[in-house]
Structure 1
Amino acid sequence: MTRGLRSLLSAVSLLLTLVLFAAPAQAAGPTCNGKFVNPITDVCWSCLFPLSVGGLKIWPSGRPDTSNPASPVCACADPLPRIGIAVGFWEPARLADVTMKPWCFPNLGGIRIAPGFDIGQGYLAGPSMVGGRSQSTAKWHVHWYVYPLLYWMEILTDFVCFEQASFDIAYMTEIDPLWQDDALTTLINPEAIIFANPIAQAACAGDCIAGTVNLPLDPLFWCAGCQGSMYPLNGNVPASIGHVQSSRLAVSRFAYKMHREALAWGTMGSKGLCKKYLMPIMRKQQYRFQMVNPIPTVSGRFACSAIGASTMPPDAGRAYPAGGEDMGYLVWRKRNCCVL
C-alpha cells in the first residue's frame, strides 16, 4: 500500500468519525461552511520555491526567501555521521481551520460536530455579529492538522527531508482554556505586558511594511505586522477590520503558541540542517500562509504571504457574509536540510 493511499484512508477514517457527531451540531448552531482542499487545484505549487543549494538559488521565484547556509556542503553527526548537500525549500506542512463557530471544520467539507459537552460552545462572537463592540472584535478557534503533502504525493521517493506522517488533527482550541481567556494566556506569554504600550506597538508599522515588501522582522517578535499585535497568544482579536485580517492574526498567534509550548520547532537556517530545534520565540520568517477556504489563492506573488504582510493584494474580496467567516489556510514552512 502506497503512502498516498494510506494517508487517504486515514483522512477518510477521521472524517467518518467526525460525521457520526456532525448532524446534531448542524441543527444546534450556525451553519458551518467549507470544502475539502483539492491537493492539485487548491495548492499554490509555485510556493515551493525558491529552491536553493547552499547560498545559491537554483530555482528562483518572485517570492522572498530566508537566508540559507552559504556552503553547499554540510555535515551531521546525528543519528549517524554523514556528509551531504545543504538544500532549502518551502514545504506545505500544516493545514489550519480558523473559524468563529466552535467545532466547525471548514477544511473537512464544512462539517460541525456535537462533542457532547459545553467546552468551547460559548465562544461564538465576532465581527459578523451586529451591534456594539462585536463590530470591531473577533473570537476565533483554530484546528491544526498534520498535513505533509509532499510526502503523501511521493514527489521525491524516500526524501529524508520530508516529514513522514499521516493526516491527523493535532490540536483543537475548543478544549484549550488558555486560548479562550486572556488572563490564563499570560501563563505562556508573561512578557506580553512589556509590549503593551504605544511605542512597542508603533514599531509594528515597520514590520507591516517589511512583511509586505520582503520578509517580516524577526527581532520584532511581538508584532504580527499589518494584522496587529502577536500578544496575547489566543484567539481574542480586539481590533478586527475584516475576516481575512483577523483570521490571519489568529493563525499567526496560534503558530507562535505552538512554538512556545514546544509543539512546533525550528526548521530553517544552519541549525535546521541536521534536525529540528527548539524555537520558543517563533521566527516569523519561517512561515507563509496560503488561503484555501473559502476561495483558494493559487497564483501570484502574494498567494502565500508572510506573517504580517498586508491582506489587500492576495485576499481582498475572498471573504463574504454568508460563510466567508469560516477560513482555511495551508501553512508553508521553510526547511533547510542536509541531504545525503
Structure 2
Amino acid sequence: MKASSLFIACLCAAASLFGATANADTPGCSNAEVIGPKLFTDVCWTCIFPIRVAGINISGGGGNAPDDSVRRPVCACNDDLGVPRPGITTSMWEPARLVEFQRVAGCSSVLNGTRFPFDRLMQGNHADGEFDTTDGTFMHYHYYAFPLLVMMDLFVNKTCNSDGFYDFDLMYMSEVDPTWNNDELAFFTNPEAAAVANPIALAACPVDAISSTAGKPLNAMFWCAGSWGAIYPLSGNQNGGNGVIRESARLKSRVLAALHRRGMAHKTMGEDAMCGGYISPILPKTQYKFSLFHPVPESTSTHVMGESTFTWGLGRTIPAVGQDPIYLIWRWNDCCNTKGASL
C-alpha cells in the first residue's frame, strides 16, 4: 500500500473513532463540492495546452510551455531488464494536485466539509485590514494527489504517470507538522533560510515579481515568490493585512517548497525527468501553474507562481462564507513515451 494511502486510512480510522463531523455540525467548515459537476465546469480544460508530441505542438493556442522543458523528438528509457527502449517525447500541463487552506483545524472542504479530530485551539485566522487586532494570519493546509487526467482516463498513457498516483489521495496535513506553526522549527529544519531571509536577498525579489507577472518566474531566485513575497520561512505564519488571496497564494509556494525539500514533491520537467519524476530539493517554480478552484473559480485561465493577484485574484472570495481557498495545482510533465500515447 502506498504510504499516503496508509496515511489517509489511519486518519479516516481516527475520524470514525473520535467522531469526525460534517459541516452541518461544524461552524466555519464548508463543503466545496469538489467531486461532482465542478470537475467539468470549474476546471480550465483549455489550460492543458500546449500538448507537445515528438517536439511538435499538436494542439492549438491556449498557453505556453516552460522554457526549460524538453523539445527533442525522440528518447529512450530502460525497461525492467535494463534494456533501453526507444520512444517519443510527450509533454503537457496536467492538473495533478489540490491544496486547500483552512482556518478550522482538521476541516476538509475538499472532502465534503468533513472535520478530522483536531483541537479548536489550533484555529487559524485572517488579518485583512489595518484595524485588525489579530497578530498576522495563519492557515492550515491539506495537500491532495489529484491526477485528474489519469482519473478520467484522458490523454495520459500509463508510462507517463511520473509518480505512480492513480487516484484521489490525501498526502499531507499541516496539523501534524510541528514546523508549520513554529517559525523557529521551520528555520532549523531548512537552514538555507539563513542565507536568503535577509534584506539583501529580499531586495532582489522585485525582479522576480516583474518577471513572474510577465509569465516567467525565475528559478534561480528560489527564495522569492514573485509579487506574493518571500517563501522563507517555510511555515504558515504571515504578518497579514494583504488579503486572503495573496496570503494563501504565498502559502502555496511555501507548501510546494517544503514538500520538495522533503522529497514528497517530484520534478517532472526536463531531460532527467523523461523516464519518471525525481527528487528535487529546490523548488522548480516554472514547473507549476495554478488555478483557484474554490470559492470563485478560475475556470478559463491559470496563473504562474508569483504573478500579481491584480491579474487573477480580484473578486475571488465571498465574505463570511467563502474565505478558505482551494487551488488546483498544474505541473508540466515531460515524458518518454515508450509504448504509444493515448493522444
Under TM normalisation by the shorter chain, which class is it? 0.7 to 0.9
Structure 1 position 81 matched with structure 2 position 99? no
Alpha-carbon separation, structure 2, partners of 1:189 and 1:55: 38
Residues 168-195 of structure 1: per-residue CA shift (max 9 Å, x gap) = 2111000110111001112331111222
Match of 2:107? 104
Q: In structure 2, what is the equivalent of residue 125 of structure 1? A: 125
Which residue matches 1:205? 206
- TM-score by length of structure 1 reads 0.86
CA apart distance, 1:57:
2.4
Displacement after TM superposition at 1:325 (Å): 2.1
CA shift, 1:287, in A, is: 0.9
Q: Which amino acid aligns with 2:264?
A: L
Query: What TM-score, normalized to structure 2?
Result: 0.85
In terms of fraction of residues, the more helix-rich structure is 1
Contact 1:34 1:294 in 2 (8 A): no
Q: How does 1:246-257 map to 2 (within 5 A)?
A: 246-257=247-258
| Partner AA of 1:266 in structure 2 | K
Per the TM alignment, residue 198 of structure 1 is displaced from its structure 2 partner at its CA by 2.2
Paired residue type of 1:71? R
Q: Which residue among 93, 96, 100 is the counterpart of 1:93?
A: 96
Worse-superposed segment, 160-169 or 67-76: 160-169
Separation in 2 of the partners of 1:74 and 1:181? 45
Q: Tell me the equivalent position of 1:70.
A: 71
Report what 1:4 is aligned to: none
Q: Which amino acid aligns with 2:310?
A: M
Equivalent residues of 1:290, 1:305 under 8 A apart: yes
How far is 1:145 from its partner? 0.8
Unaligned runs of 5+ in 1: 1-10
Indicate conservation of the 8 Å contact 1:34/1:326, yes or no.
no
SS in 2 for 1:194: helix
* Residues 232-276 of structure 1 deviation map (CA, whole Å, 9 limit, x = unaligned): 111112244010000011111011111000111110011111121
Deviations, residues 193-231 of structure 1 (Å, cap 9, x unaligned): 222222211211111111111220000000001110010
**What amino acid does structure 2 have at the position aligned with 1:304?**
T
Equivalent residue, structure 1, for 2:149? 150
> Structure 1 residue 93: deviation in Å?
0.9
Q: Is the 8 A contact 2:130 2:241 kept in 1?
A: no
1:320 lines up with 2:318 in the alignment = yes
- Alpha carbons 2:23, 2:29 under 8 Å: kept: no
The size of the alignment, in residue pairs, is 322
3-state SS of the aligned residue for 1:179?
A: coil
Alpha carbons of structure 1 residues 143 and 275: separation in structure 2 relative to 1, 3 Å:
same
Question: Which residue is 1:33 aligned to?
Answer: 30
Partner of 2:167: 166
Q: Could you tell me how far apart the structure 2 residues matched to 1:16 and 1:271 are? A: 39
User: For residues 164 and 222 of structure 1, do their structure 2 counterparts lie closer, same or farther at Cα, with a shift above 3 Å needed?
Assistant: closer
Please state how far the C-alpha of 1:68 moved relative to its aligned partner: 2.6
Q: What is aligned with 2:139?
A: 140
Determine if contact 2:70/2:269 at 8 Å carries over to the other structure.
no
TM-aligned CA deviation for residue 338 of structure 1:
0.3
CA–CA distance in structure 2, aligned partners of residues 191 and 328 of structure 1: 29
Equivalent-residue separation in structure 2 for 1:159 and 1:22 (angstroms): 35
* Matched residue type, 2:259: M
Q: Does 1:268 align with 2:269?
A: yes
Write the distance in 2 (CA, Å) between the matches of 1:47 and 1:15. 33
Task: Deviation per CA, 1:107-144: give whole Å up to 9, x if none.
Answer: 223333334xx4x7324232159955537x21111101
- State the alpha-carbon separation in 2 of the partners of residues 17 and 291 from structure 1: 30
Q: 1:103 to 1:129 in 2, by over 3 A?
A: farther
Residue 341 of structure 2 corresponds to none
Distance 2:143 2:217 in 1: 23
Displacement after TM superposition at 1:321 (Å)? 2.4
Hey, what's the Cα distance between the residues in 2 that align with 1:134 and 1:176?
A: 23
RMSD across aligned C-alpha pairs, in angstroms? 2.7
132 and 296 in structure 1: CA distance in 2 versus 1, 3 angstrom threshold: closer
